[in-house]
Amino acid sequence: MQAAVVKFIAMPLPVTIQDVRVVLTQPGKSRLAIVKVSTSEPGLYGLGCATFTQRIFAVATAIERHLKPFLLGRDVDRIEEIWSMSMVHGYWRNGPVLNNAISGVDQALGDIKGKRAGMSVCDLLGGKSREAAHVYVHANAECKEEVAENVQAYMARGFRYIRVQMGGYGGKGSPMVKPKKAPDGAYFDPRDYCRRMLDMIAYVREQVGEAVELLHDVHERLVPIHAVEFAKDVEQFKLFFLEDALAPEDIHWFRMIRGQCATPLAMGELFNNPHEWQMLIQERLIDFIRMHISQMGGITPARNVAIFADMYGIRTAWHGPSDTSPVGHAANLQLDLWLPNFGVQEWYQPSELDYAIFPGLPVVEDGYLYPNDEPGLGIDIDEALAAKYPPRDLVEDWTQTRLPDGSPARP
């Protein structure tokens, strides 16, 4: 009787993390942190955004001194496990520095998985719900007439969603009397801001009509009761949404705003902790979630929150200013294309230098943001060119915000 022949099939070795590096660069106003995860497969790497521009060096240190030793040798395919273990490995969690560090790795691993599969991250998530994403841009000026002119110029270029601001956040430029020896800072008057912004929005709406969607960002600069009042007063102008009417510390006041008016509300760019967004979604107190993808920890939690929000009819409007890196914008777009409950995407209008440093950065046409055909996130980085624009050491001015009497205030 012949002995049975046992055949052994050699299983391929897993692709593992061989290096984790942080590329710091500043091609514009914002200091950017890009994570590059290299693998055991020659030439295969992924990019992710870890940009917390005000604390960029703290994030870089967290990645290089803490996450990197923890990650080396791990299987790149185990994204869920790596995200979960990275979040609890430091014991203390849900803070902006570590969230951004984890996000850079999470996005890079998604980029790698897409490249290995020859698919975009959007396709890995389930495929397109749309071919391109509507974006909104910022029309800011020092007077209402110029704001209206800027809106009309954007409309002529095909944009249909436009955020209107006057004098920057808080409406700088109001006449105010400061105490003697008042310290330096970015002063603003909240009550004067309310009056001037309502007048500006009324003027712009009168000039441009209702064919364009207008948005406005309070930037959490009002005490809660005045935010309630402002949301009621602005209702008549039919905004697409009012952004960050309250600070994260005051989110329970959204119940009062919702009970007082029908102004659509967007919230979330400062959120770190799941308890900050869960209540707002479950009670349907907002209409748009707009977290900063790296601030919340990357694509993995953003995907989960967006699915959760869809169950309650709440749409997405991910944070997308210049201190989201081009890699972060590419990640935003991959989510936008997939999500059934996508609303609109904030867009910062990159410079030519941004496009040179980050080949594959998405482009806008007729108010839509389009992806390319590359796998993963579809974006790369020219490290040699990025190195020519190192991040500058500076102390932020605009976040040193003060009320007329000199009291520190939220930026």
Question: Residue 146 belongs to what domain range?
Answer: 123-373
Q: pLDDT category, 156, cuts 50, 70, 90?
A: very high
Distances (CA, A) of 163 to 130, 139, 143, 148, 257: 23, 6, 15, 11, 21
Is residue 174 included in any domain, yes or no?
yes
Is residue 161 included in any domain, yes or no?
yes
Contact criterion met (CB below 8 Å) for 406 and 178: yes
Cα(321)–Cα(385) distance, rounded to whole angstroms? 22
Report the pLDDT averaged over residues 322-330.
Answer: 97
Return phi, psi of residue 256, to 5°: -70, -40
Q: pLDDT category, 178, cuts 50, 70, 90?
A: confident
Q: pLDDT category, 286, cuts 50, 70, 90?
A: very high
Contact criterion met (CB below 8 Å) for 188 and 151: no
Cα(105)–Cα(89) distance, rounded to whole angstroms? 14
Number of independent structural domains in the chain = 1
Contact criterion met (CB below 8 Å) for 391 and 31: yes
Which residue has 């992710």 as its token pair? 48
Contact criterion met (CB below 8 Å) for 400 and 170: no
> For residue 8, what pLDDT is reported?
60
Report the pLDDT averaged over residues 57-64.
Answer: 98
Cα(306)–Cα(300) distance, rounded to whole angstroms? 10
Judged against a pLDDT cut of 90, whether residue 173 lies above it is answered with: no
Half-sphere exposure of 33 (CA within 13 A, CB side): 28
> For residue 41, what pLDDT is reported?
97
Q: What residues does 215 pair with on adjacent strands?
A: 163, 241
Distances (CA, A) of 273 to 113, 127, 278: 27, 28, 9
CATH number at residue 263: 3.20.20.120
pTM above 0.75, yes or no: yes
Distances (CA, A) of 391 to 141, 248, 284, 361: 28, 29, 40, 20
Angle, in degrees to the nearest 10, between helices 299-310 and 79-89: 100
Task: Express each pLDDT in 79-138 by its tens digit.
Answer: 999 999 999 999 999 999 999 999 999 999 999 999 999 999 999 999 999 999 999 999
Q: pLDDT category, 2, cuts 50, 70, 90?
A: low
> Which has the closest alpha carbon to 288: 269, 265, 308, 272?
265
Contact criterion met (CB below 8 Å) for 139 and 198: no
Task: Express each pLDDT in 10-38 by its tens digit.
Answer: 667 899 999 999 999 999 999 999 999 99
Contact criterion met (CB below 8 Å) for 168 and 140: yes
Which residues are annotated as catalytic?
169, 219
Angle, in degrees to the nearest 10, between helices 299-310 and 96-117: 90
> For residue 268, what pLDDT is reported?
97
Is residue 211 included in any domain, yes or no?
yes
> Which has the closest alpha carbon to 269: 286, 282, 257, 252?
286
Half-sphere exposure of 332 (CA within 13 A, CB side): 34
Percent of the chain with pLDDT over 90: 89
Q: pLDDT category, 3, cuts 50, 70, 90?
A: low
Kind and range of the H or E element at 195?
A: helix 190-208
Q: pLDDT category, 168, cuts 50, 70, 90?
A: confident
> For residue 390, what pLDDT is reported?
98
Task: Express each pLDDT in 64-81 by its tens digit.
Answer: 999 999 999 999 999 999
Cα(356)–Cα(408) distance, rounded to whole angstroms? 39
Strand order in the sheet with 45-49: 17-25, 32-39, 45-49
Q: pLDDT category, 220, cuts 50, 70, 90?
A: very high
Cα(192)–Cα(65) distance, rounded to whole angstroms? 47
